[in-house]
Structure 1
């Protein structure tokens, strides 16, 4: 019988965080990044780890963010050895320490997403994510990240009128975009949705994300 906690939206967010980390690994083949294979792989890994996580992590939300422990201080002693064994056998990690380091990074991504502020619906002007095309809660992504606006103008990369261009993305896709490139690279080279979708890593992520049902664990 499935753990009821694994049917929550948080479980889906965690699984997506694992998928993004997997796709970010160098040397991942097309077969390994196939959306169906990736879904099976991350579903298995997430199911192995999820019950071992403390409830404040599994129940992370924007409202409960103050109760979520720091990832670096989080004990992972209860994580099944099968998690590390799987990552090692797939060449993702060299040993158990590397596997747990991979997991901490994925958990940090998960907590950032799960505890992110909810979307401001009054300002949401789209019904589908512009990357995965799912009808789920959306956030707005500044195509030219605000942190580098001053540099963009100084270098003359774009006119000021372009600085407030946004794309409407679901939280997992929004996180995926920021994971594949720095703010400066996004501003200079990937400042439209069309340019983002030309990236192979975003294409692979899109194929995976488009098949995920929001808040429902794949049986």
Structure 2
């Protein structure tokens, strides 16, 4: 039985799940970033109200028969499992946080303005259910055994990203919003807007004449996982000079770099197969 998420929390739950997918995908994106770790079972949960853990194949004799699609489906279920385990453990005001609520409440601004105050960080990390930590360790997302510092390095950026996302003002580009990620084409995950010419480079871009001023605010709508991948692809200056459109990102940049093109194609093919279990 899946953990029930109230309707008023559903949108934030989906954002949290998308933010959680970023560090998990980064750790386990074997075809792109590193050799693939062996699958391990994640911890069982003892609570009678807990959600069912996804079935993960353990038998190494059958591992060679697993297709990339089945691996992606298993990973999607694992992320869904973790999200539905961790999100309900967060404080109620954090599960329903929004831009308007944040702006109207000095108290919320005090406890949730990034960088998070130590007291807020400690409270939130202490609320993470132990089975979630066990699962992250068994999937090698956290070291085994992990300590408080390991958990802080993984989970505090996740919580910070979630808070920044739900409290962000509506973008002025809302009328241009896509219905699916412009990189992986998934239309069932929340989207973020990626500045194709990073804002930190605007002054340099204009000074060196790389782009016209009207191009500075061009954006692409990407899922959180693809957004993170693009920023791992190159630094901000290189993104501004070489990858200032979705077409250039897919094509390997201005130089049509074949290695970059293959890396992007591999990522898109792999992450495009990651689905969440229907709620």
The TM-score range, normalised by the shorter chain, is 0.7 to 0.9
Change in CA separation of 1:138 and 1:82 when aligned onto 2, cut-off 3 Å = closer
Q: Could you tell me how far 1:80 is from its partner in structure 2?
A: 1.2
Q: 2:176 aligns with which of 112, 124, 127?
A: 124
- 1:77 paired with 2:126, answer yes
Change in CA separation of 1:28 and 1:137 when aligned onto 2, cut-off 3 Å = closer
Q: 1:187 aligns with which of 221, 240, 246?
A: 240
- 1:218 paired with 2:278, answer yes
CA contact (8 A) 2:21 2:225 kept: no
Q: Cα RMSD between the aligned structures?
A: 3.5
TM-score under structure 2 length normalisation: 0.61
Q: Could you tell me how far 1:148 is from its partner in structure 2?
A: 0.3
CA distance in 2, matches of 1:109, 1:81: 22
CA contact (8 A) 2:14 2:190 kept: no
Q: Which runs of 5+ in 2 are unaligned?
A: 38-67, 251-260
CA distance in 2, matches of 1:18, 1:204: 20
Q: Which runs of 5+ in 1 are unaligned?
A: none
Q: Could you tell me how far 1:176 is from its partner in structure 2?
A: 3.1
More deviation in 119-128 or 78-87? 119-128
Q: Could you tell me how far 1:101 is from its partner in structure 2?
A: 2.8
CA contact (8 A) 2:190 2:224 kept: no
Identify the residue that residue 61 of structure 1 maps to in structure 2: 98
Which structure: larger Rg? 2
Change in CA separation of 1:54 and 1:182 when aligned onto 2, cut-off 3 Å = farther
* Number of residue pairs aligned between Structure 1 and Structure 2: 212
More deviation in 136-145 or 185-194? 136-145
3-state SS of 2:216 partner: coil
Q: 1:203 aligns with which of 268, 271, 276?
A: 268
Q: 2:12 aligns with which of 3, 10, 23?
A: 10
Matches within 5 A, 1:33-72: 34-66=71-103, 67=108, 69-70=111-112, 71=116, 72=118
Change in CA separation of 1:60 and 1:179 when aligned onto 2, cut-off 3 Å = farther
- 1:96 paired with 2:147, answer yes
CA contact (8 A) 1:131 1:193 kept: yes
Matches within 5 A, 1:157-168: 158-160=210-212, 163-164=215-216, 166-168=218-220
CA distance in 2, matches of 1:189, 1:29: 26
3-state SS of 2:128 partner: coil
CA distance in 1, matches of 2:181, 2:75: 21
CA contact (8 A) 1:124 1:138 kept: no
CA contact (8 A) 2:13 2:95 kept: yes
